[in-house]
Chains A and B, each alone.
Chain A
Amino acid sequence: MSLTEPRSETLRFRLSSLAGPLSRQLLPLGLIALLLVSIIAPILALLLKSLLNREGGFVGLANFARYIGEPGLSIAIWNSVSLSALSTVLTIAIAFPYAFALHRSAIPFKGLFRVIMLVPLLAPSMLPAFGMIYLFGNQGVLKSWLMGNSIYGPIGIVTASVFHALPHAILILSAGLASGDQRLYEAARALKASWFRTFVNVTLPSCQYAIISAACVVFVSVFTDFGIPTVIGGSTNVLATDIYKQVIGRFDFELGAVVGVMLLTPALVAYGIDVLARRNQRATFSGRSVPVVLGQNRMRDGLCTLLVVMVTCAILGIIGMAIFGSLVRFWPYNLTLGLHNYEKALSDPDELRTIFNSLLLASSVAVAGTCLVATSGWMVSRKGFSGGLTQVMQALAMVPVAVPGLVLGLGYVFFFNNPANPLHILQGGMTLLVLCTIAHFYTVPHLMAVGALVKLDREVDLAAQALRSSPVATGRRIHAAVLGPTLVDIAGYLFVNAMTTVSALMFLFNAQTRVAAIAVVNMAEGSRFGQATALAVMVMVICLAATALQILVRNVIIRRQPWRRQAG
Chain B
Amino acid sequence: MAPFLSVKDLSKRFGATTVVDQVSFDVAKAEFVCVLGPSGCGKTTLLRLIAGFEQAQTGSITMAGENVTRHRPEERDFGIVFQSYALFPNRTVAGNVGFGLDATGARVAQQRARVAELLALVGLSDHAAKYPAQLSGGQQQRVALARALALSPGLLLLDEPLSALDANVRARLRLELLALQRRVGVTALMVTHDQQEALAVADRIIVMNRGRIVQCGTPQQVFETPADLFVARFMGEMNAFRISSVNETQICAGPLRIGRGAHAAIPATGAHLCIRPSAVLIGPEAEASGQALQAQVWSVLYLGDTVRLTLHVGDADGVAIDVEVPSVRLPVLPRTGDELAVSFPPEQIRILAESRDQHLGDGV
Contact = CB atoms under 8 A, between A and B. Distances in A.
Interface of A: 1-5, 8-9, 12-13, 16-17, 20, 456-457, 459-460, 462-470, 473, 477-478, 481-482, 561-567
8 contacts: A8-B105, A17-B75, A459-B82, A463-B86, A467-B147, A477-B99, A563-B131, A563-B133
Contacts of A4: 104-106, 151
Interface stretch (B11-19, B88-96, B231-239): B88-96
A468 B144 CA distance: 15
A5 B101 CA distance: 12
A462 B47 CA distance: 12
B344 interface: no
A96 B135 CA distance: 42
Contacts of B254: none
Contacts of A2: 114, 152
Contacts of A482: 89-90
B84 A466 contact: no
A566 B99 CA distance: 22
Contact of B89 (A17, A456, A462, A467): A456
Contacts of B230: none
B294 to A, nearest CB: 49
Contacts of A467: 79, 99-100, 103, 147, 150-151
Contact of B79 (A8, A457, A466, A562): A466
Looking at chain B's contact residues, the main secondary structure is: loop
A302 to B, nearest CB: 41
B90 A563 contact: yes
A93 B106 CA distance: 65
B57 interface: no
B99 A469 contact: yes
B111 interface: yes
B47 to A, nearest CB: 11
Contacts of B92: 563
A463 B146 CA distance: 12
Given A4-B104, A562-B131, A563-B133, A460 B151 contact: no
Nearest to A484: B90
A470 B82 contact: no
Given A13-B74, A16-B74, A468-B151, A3 B82 contact: no
A470 B74 CA distance: 8
A469 B87 contact: no
Contacts of A13: 74-75
A412 B78 CA distance: 52
B72 A20 contact: yes
Interface in B46-104: 51, 53, 72-75, 78-80, 82-84, 86-92, 99-101, 103-104
Contacts of A478: 88, 90-91
B132 interface: yes
A283 to B, nearest CB: 22
Given A13-B74, A464-B88, A482-B90, 10 more contacts: A3-B114, A16-B74, A17-B72, A457-B84, A465-B73, A466-B148, A478-B88, A561-B90, A563-B89, A563-B131
A129 to B, nearest CB: 46
Contacts of B336: none
A2 B110 CA distance: 10
Given A457-B84, A467-B147, A9 B134 contact: no
Contact of A468 (B74, B80, B82, B148): B74
A565 B133 contact: yes
Contacts of B74: 13, 16, 465, 468-470
Interface string B108-119: 001100100000
B99 A464 contact: yes
A1 B89 contact: no
A-B pairs, top 8 by smallest CB distance, nearest first, are A467-B100, A459-B86, A481-B90, A563-B131, A567-B134, A3-B106, A459-B82, A463-B86
A466 B78 contact: yes
Contacts, number: 106
B5 to A, nearest CB: 15
A1 B103 CA distance: 13
A27 to B, nearest CB: 17
Contacts of B78: 466
Interface in B132-171: 132-135, 144, 147-148, 150-152
Nearest to A460: B86
A16 B103 CA distance: 12
B103 A468 contact: yes
Given A457-B86, A468-B100, A3 B72 contact: no
Contacts of B134: 566-567
A459 B84 contact: yes
A469 B131 contact: no
A566 B103 CA distance: 29
B149 to A, nearest CB: 11
Nearest to B89: A563
A567 B144 CA distance: 19
Given A456-B89, A459-B86, A466 B104 contact: no
A462 B80 contact: yes
A388 to B, nearest CB: 15
Contacts of A563: 89-92, 131-133
A484 to B, nearest CB: 9
Contacts of A1: 151-152
Contacts of A567: 133-135
Contacts of B73: 462, 465-466
Contacts of A9: 104-105
Contacts of B104: 3-5, 9
A179 to B, nearest CB: 24
Contacts of A565: 133
A383 to B, nearest CB: 10
A9 to B, nearest CB: 7
Contacts of A8: 105
Q: Which of A5, A9, A465 has the most CB of B within 10 A?
A: A465
A533 to B, nearest CB: 47
Contact of A462 (B82, B91, B99, B147): B82
B147 A463 contact: yes
B4 to A, nearest CB: 15
Contacts of B79: 466-467
Contacts of B131: 562-563
B12 to A, nearest CB: 16
B61 to A, nearest CB: 15
Nearest to B78: A466
A566 B134 CA distance: 6
Interface string B219-252: 0000000000000000000000000000000000
Nearest to B133: A566
Nearest to A2: B152
Nearest to A467: B100
A3 B78 CA distance: 15
B304 to A, nearest CB: 30
A457 B85 CA distance: 9
A315 to B, nearest CB: 39
Interface string B325-357: 000000000000000000000000000000000
Contacts of A460: 86-88
Nearest to A16: B74
A469 B103 contact: yes
A282 to B, nearest CB: 22
Interface string B190-233: 00000000000000000000000000000000000000000000
B119 to A, nearest CB: 15
B103 A463 contact: no
Given A465-B74, A466-B51, A3 B110 contact: yes
Contacts of A466: 51, 73, 78-80, 148
Contacts of A561: 90
B176 to A, nearest CB: 20
Contacts of B105: 4-5, 8-9
B80 A463 contact: yes
A540 B125 CA distance: 54
B116 to A, nearest CB: 13
Nearest to B152: A1
